[in-house]
A and B are shown apart, each in its own frame.
Chain A
Amino acid sequence: MNDPPAEKTRTTDGGTVIRQGTEGDASTGSSELLAEVRDLRLYFDTDRGVVKALDGVDFDLYSGEIFALVGETGCGKSITARSFMQLVPTPPGRYPSGRIQMRSRDTCDACGGSGCSECRDTGNAFRDLLSVTASEMEHIRGDRIAMIFQDPEETLNPSLTLRSHLAEAILAHQGEEVMREAGVPVDDLNGISKRMVRRYASAERSPLLTYICSLPPLRKHKSAIRDAVRERSLELLGQTQLPNPKAALSNYPHEMSGGQLQRVMIAMALAARPDLLVADEATTALDVTTQARIIELVGELQSEYNTGILYITHDLELVSDIADRVGVMYAGSMAEIGTVDHVYNDPLHPYTKGLLNSVPSEKTVGGRLQGIDGSIPDLTNPPKGCRFCTRCPDVMDHCSDVEPAITDEGDGHEVACHLYTDQRDDGSLT
């Protein structure tokens, strides 16, 4: 077998290689590169040693697509997602290397919007989410990237009504627009009054605040803002098809079911029309009938706003139903990336094959499941070379020495396995 073309091979060790693969062609034409993750490494310093939770993760995300990250417990899919929003506490975590380049709404400085290699031909500047400051992150979080978590009952504050939750999301991300719409001269107000008005509007009411807001310069604005926020909240809830949104606004989280709360979470996440929606096991806690409707809703909203969705789940069947592309993670590294079609019908990595063979399907009824032997490795001391080598049915001698590079097997179907690297034909290594 010939060596694969050099430009299609990407190494996991360098941060300098700019991808030239054909991955983008696999998704729809209108989608543009939204974010690229390169060589992401995340280590946790613990008493037992360094846990290498992520060790060289690379993938791309496009707007308007659903990219699913699948893998078993502890494979690092959730912390990859959380890294997008700087939600991993550092320390104990630290990023020894890696970048998460996300497209911003500013034009690219290097080319002025005409498209260059710096901005990946999108015309927008790319920013590294790992190196932005905390205050910059505040504007990215929620505004540009929104997140839906697994358990809405634990994510929402039990002591606040849904009105307060939504008002907070709306005012944090669209505060100025909403106030302007309500006829509040935001630009004329000074800093303190502006903050007071905001706080009043977000229903965060203390006796002092209520008193201040009932004094002349602010008095005339308060009801206008509240009406505008209410209007916008109803609009958002209406989009999520929540029954009786008017009554729901004054409900507390415990008064609603899990599926209804997840709709509220989606409404909040969409308040700012983010470019990227991260869904971390968003439907795992729900029943299948509810899950089906939430997924449908997410899909509808995604096509409306052309949002990119990073969908984290361990449910392989769900992914085959909803996602455009899928990345399979194993023990902190990416094993295989490709379109759902490619990965499910023609899996390349032995881990992907094992995973798919573990799923009970029509063919396995009453019989045995192939599954994968063994269990996931301890990440403080992962196996040398390929991390899957201890459980791999196709293991070769050099698997436990050399970490496999990612190779593109055509149409953006990438795999990190020695079965597909050129080392396979190298006599000295096999």
Chain B
Amino acid sequence: MSQSENPDNVTDVGTALSSETKNEIILQCTGLKKYYPVTGGVFQRKISDVKAVDSVDFRIQRGDIQGIVGESGCGKSTLARVLVNLNEPTDGNIYFDVPGDIADEIAEIENKTDDERTSAEDDRLEELKSEYEINTVTGKRAKHYRENVQFVFQNPSNSLNPRKLIHQTVSQPLKVHTDLQTVEREERVRELLNQVGLGEDFMYRYPHQLSGGQKQRVAIARAIATNPDFIVLDEPTSALDVSVQAQILNLLQDLREELDLTYLFITHDLGVIRHVATNVAVMYLGKVVENASRSELFQEPEHPYTEALISSSPAIETGGDRIRLSGDVPDPEDRPTGCYFHPRCHKSESFCGWNGTDVLSILQVNVTKDERVETLFDELNDTEIDGYHAEFEFTNRVDIQRVKGELSGEEDTLRSHNDELFDAVTDVDVEGQTVVLSFRDIETPELIESESGRDVACHLYDDDYE
């Protein structure tokens, strides 16, 4: 077979790869968790978990560009890797390519607790899982998933094999997923390279001969080789210069229209996400705190974290004052109680989950600024914080009754730094030189539908809290 007769054939095979039926929901995940164990002690036993992804639910419609934004360490990349099955989730289900009504049915069953479910519902869920859940499906369905989900990594220099020629890299997925012969594959690679704006000259080059933007084009060519439905893009332009970023973003838009693709676009750059995404989910410490359409999210952010993130980003013209968040992102291994964002939140209230750690951090932050805080801090012997219960042990040099007044917020010294925190103190007790504080017991906010109809995880939008 000569090459000139081939192209038509090749394209046929290309289209044949795409799914026969187009289902509405390309991806739906429920209660998705990915924990990494932390080991310690002599026997390296597991002592706790880093909850990189913690109960994430969302659904991506076919044709959407779902954006995920968040600061480093918020779990957005882990989430991406779990969704494409590079890492197995600790818990939770991921359904791929589901018809709309069935997706609703799944959501309905999964929203019930184990006790509420009937055995018929359990059986139905098992049946649906074996049909759509990516870690349960086998055979043809599993192959369908693997062919139709592709991934583009952040740094193209690390994601291309330096010892393979570009055409070898791009034809690898064709080798795995299609029956194309060598010549046909070569033709398809040529077609793909043209499609991403590189041209045939690049077929016999090595990755090191390419610039960053060209490498990312190769990575995209590899991703679209099997004609997938869904591509996960993990910071695809973060390593690139702004003019190259513009080229790649344009390319991604074009390909989406040409090939009817759905993207999950992960980035920390709010300017980029506002440009490309149709829906945006904001993550903070492993949880989605807000999920809304682009226009809603950028015009009227509801979660205080979203608001602060947008406000801090130089990419977004705010016109007014910018919100400055205090403190750093907490250690994911030791997340704050209640709402994870409350220690940094500019809209925090007494029902946000304050505990002894926050008292301690007031002492630490103000130790050099306030003399009264300094004496308090210097006399602090030991602290024990367990959830909403905290014990502060002081040396004998201080009058414990006075300290009790300070720590409970009756006096002004500490209260002047954070009113809401001391409103949350429910009980104060003194045992010897130890002050025992109890705080309001608050649950971590889950995603709820706010009045404007979008998903937001914040107690400010929950009528149960006032």
Contacts and interface: CB of A to CB of B under 8 A. Distances in A.
A365 B275 CA distance: 4
Interface string A372-388: 11011000000000000
Interface string A282-306: 0000011111110010000000000
B327 A288 contact: no
Given A72-B241, A288-B309, A289-B309, A318 B314 contact: yes
Contacts of A368: 250, 253
Contacts of B276: 360, 366
Contact of A321 (B246, B247, B314): B314
B71 interface: yes
Contact of A369 (B212, B274, B275): B275
Interface string B248-286: 011001000000000000001011101110000000000
Interface in B355-393: 361, 364-365, 367-369
B309 to A, nearest CB: 7
A412 to B, nearest CB: 24
B314 A315 contact: yes
A362 B71 CA distance: 22
A246 B368 contact: yes
Max chain B Cβ within 10 angstroms of own Cβ: one of A287, A290, A366, A376: A287
B410 interface: no
Nearest to B378: A246
B241 A287 contact: no
Main secondary structure of the interface of B (DSSP, over half): helix
Interface string A23-43: 000000000000000000000
A322 B109 CA distance: 52
Contact of B312 (A289, A361, A370): A289
A296 B270 CA distance: 20
Interface in B277-331: 294, 308-309, 312-315, 317, 322, 324-325, 327-329
A293 B312 CA distance: 9
A243 B327 contact: yes
B268 A358 contact: no
A7 B271 CA distance: 42
A314 B361 CA distance: 35
A366 B361 contact: no
Contacts, number: 116
A260 interface: yes
A360 B267 CA distance: 13
B72 interface: yes
Contacts of A375: 211, 213-214, 244
B249 A234 contact: no
Interface string A208-248: 00000000000000000000000000100010000111110
B336 to A, nearest CB: 15
B244 A355 contact: no
Contact of B246 (A247, A293, A314, A358): A358
B368 A369 contact: no
Given A244-B367, A360-B315, A354 B324 contact: no
B120 interface: no
A400 interface: no
Interface in B58-78: 71-72
B242 A359 contact: yes
Interface residues of B, number: 43
Nearest to B278: A366
B292 to A, nearest CB: 15
A269 B242 CA distance: 30
B312 A291 contact: yes
> Interface residues of A toward B: which range?
35 or more
Which label, helix, strand, loop or mixed, suits the secondary structure of the A interface? helix
Given A234-B368, A368-B250, A288 B71 contact: yes
Contact of B364 (A247, A290, A320, A322): A247
Contact of A366 (B72, B275, B367): B275
A287 B329 contact: yes
A360 B250 contact: no
Contacts of A321: 314
B249 A360 contact: yes
Interface in A304-343: 314-318, 320-322
A371 to B, nearest CB: 3
Contacts of A315: 314
Nearest to B249: A369
Given A317-B315, A369-B246, A292 B324 contact: yes
B243 A320 contact: no
B313 A288 contact: yes
Nearest to A322: B314
Contacts of A358: 242-243, 245-246
Given A320-B314, A366-B275, A73 B241 contact: yes
A5 to B, nearest CB: 34
B242, B246, B314, B324 — most chain A CB neighbours (10 Å): B242
A72 B367 CA distance: 43
Given A257-B328, A287-B268, A288-B268, A370 B322 contact: no
B227 to A, nearest CB: 24
B243 A372 contact: yes
A131 interface: no
Given A369-B250, A375-B214, 8 more contacts: A246-B368, A259-B328, A288-B314, A290-B328, A316-B242, A317-B315, A360-B315, A365-B275
19 contacts: A72-B241, A238-B368, A243-B327, A245-B367, A288-B270, A288-B314, A292-B312, A293-B324, A316-B242, A317-B271, A359-B315, A361-B315, A364-B275, A365-B275, A369-B250, A371-B243, A371-B250, A375-B211, A376-B211
Among all A-B residue pairs, the 6 with the closest Cβ atoms: A371-B246, A360-B275, A358-B246, A244-B364, A369-B246, A72-B241
Interface of B: 71-72, 211-214, 241-247, 249-250, 253, 268, 270-272, 274-276, 294, 308-309, 312-315, 317, 322, 324-325, 327-329, 361, 364-365, 367-369
